[in-house]
Each structure stands twice: as structure tokens, then as C-alpha cells.
Amino acid sequence: MSFIPAPISRFFHRTASPPHFYALANRFIPWLTVLFLLLLIPGLYGGLIMAPTDYQQGDSYRIIYIHVPAAWMSLFIYVLMAVMGGIALIWRMKLAEVMLISSAPIGAGFTFIALVTGSLWGKPMWGTWWVWDARLTSELILLFLYLGVISLHGAIEDKRNAARAVSILALVGVVNIPIIHYSVEWWNTLHQGPTVSKMDKPSIHISMLIPLLLMAVAFKVYYAIALLQAAKLELLKRESSAQWVKNLLEKTV
């Protein structure tokens, strides 16, 4: 780690020590919650009320304000998991392991949301709940990848080992995601089913775009809050016999 300047390295090690991180998370969560609401409320107001009705899709297009940000998050979180997996494997950083495994259910949740809202949007637009559209299909496969990570972590009893296994799996998965994505896209152009042109280029107006971006950032902040909550739990589980947890218990009880 010699190529990282000493002060930065020291900063990381201090922040990454479990008690310090736990306290830091507690301090950040209220601010993040305020920020989340500041983004969510105008985002929802702009998306559901201000934005004009789409001339082709009517009001059903308003699902876009959760569908698209959720789809973005599903990919973003998986990539982030792989990055943390790499950090966990190279530097044996406990906190990266905790962040990796705490992210998995949140990412799976976003993937699930993207699938269900896509299906609910598809029903009025395409006439069926499910089409083997390229994006829906790759999203489904992404959900399988998330579930693989979660179940592998659950199956290995030793949590240090489980974290290493999951890190390897996340890295392997992230290399495969573009391959899977492009092969599904290619496969889809061969078996072009019902037309998807309606959803291909929603001629997006600025009054529709702003709420979309607000919602996208709001989802990112939500991820940060949920991740910190999950990481706090995971840290307590792992370090339940450590001194800092005992101090914490004495303070609260």
C-alpha cells in the first residue's frame, strides 16, 4: 500500500475501524435522511403532479420515475459490490466485507423493483405482463446474480470465509455482466418479439427529466442510509464480543 500517502492511509484505517465507523454512521444517518426527503419530495411532486402527461403513453409513463432510477441502482450497486470485493480481497479490510454483504439485499431489492415496475408498465403498453425484452431479461439475470451472492453468504458458516467467497463471486459476476448484457441484447434483436419502440425513446422533456434526476439522486441517498443501517447490524453481529460493543451496551442500557 506504499503508493498511498501516509495521512490518507491513516485516515482510512481510522475510519474503517468498527467502533469509529459505527459512531460515524450514527452521526451521518440523520443528515442523510434530511437530504433524502429534500430530494424525494420535490422529485415525487415534479414527477407525479408537475410533469405533463405523455402524448403517447398517457399517465402510465409516470412509472418511469421509479423504474429507471431503480434499474440504474441495481447495476450501480452490483459494480460497487465488486469494487468492495476487490478491496476486501487485496487489503483484507473488514469494513469492505461488511459493506459488500450489506449491499446485496438492497441491490436485490432495487432489481426486484425494476422488474416489477417494468412489468406493471409493460402491461398497459405492450399488452402483456412479461416480454422477453433485452433489458427485462438482463435485469432478471442480474437478480439471479444477487440471489447467488446472498445465498452463498448465508450458506458458509464462518463469516470471514463467507466474505471472501462472496468477494470472489462479485468480481466474477461483474466481469460477466457486460458479456451477459450484450449477448442478451444480441439475442433479442434476433428474436424481435412485440415492438418495444414505444419505450425505446421517450422523447423526454426537461420538465420530465428534472424529477427523474431528482429521484435518481434520492435513490442513491436512500442506498447510503440503508447501507449504513445494514452495516451497523452486520458489524454488531461480527464483533458482538468486542470491547467497543460492551462499552456501547453499557451506555445504552
Residues that bind other proteins in the complex, under the rule CB under 8 A: 48-49, 53, 58-60, 62-63, 66-67, 70, 89, 102, 105-106, 109, 112-113, 116-117, 120-121, 123-124, 141, 144-145, 147-148, 151-152, 155-156, 161, 164-165, 168-169, 171-173, 175-176, 179-180, 183-184, 186-187, 190, 222, 225-226, 229-230, 232-233, 236-237, 240, 245-246, 248-250, 252-253
Dihedral sign (CA 179, 181, 183, 186): negative
CB nearer other proteins, residue 15 or residue 183: 183
| Shortest spacing between CB 15 and other proteins, in angstroms | 20
* Whole-number Å distance between alpha carbons of 190 and 182: 13
* Whole-number Å distance between alpha carbons of 132 and 17: 46
The set of residues, in sequence order, having a beta carbon less than 8 Å from that of 27 and lying 6+ positions away, is none
What number of CA atoms fall less than 13 Å from residue 204's CA on the CB side?
17
Q: Is 29 helix (H, G, I), strand (E, B) or coil?
A: helix
| Shortest spacing between CB 25 and other proteins, in angstroms | 11
Look at residues 188, 86, 171, 174 and name the one whose alpha carbon lies nearest to residue 131.
188
Enter the C-alpha cell of residue 127: 399488452
The position carrying cell 470485493 is 85
SS3 percent helix, strand, coil of the chain, rounded to 5, is 85, 0, 15
| Shortest spacing between CB 71 and other proteins, in angstroms | 12
| Shortest spacing between CB 2 and other proteins, in angstroms | 23
Query: 115 and 140 in contact (C-beta within 8 Å)?
Result: yes
* Whole-number Å distance between alpha carbons of 239 and 245: 7
* Whole-number Å distance between alpha carbons of 148 and 135: 20
Q: Measured in Å, how far apart are the chain's first and last C-alpha atoms? A: 41
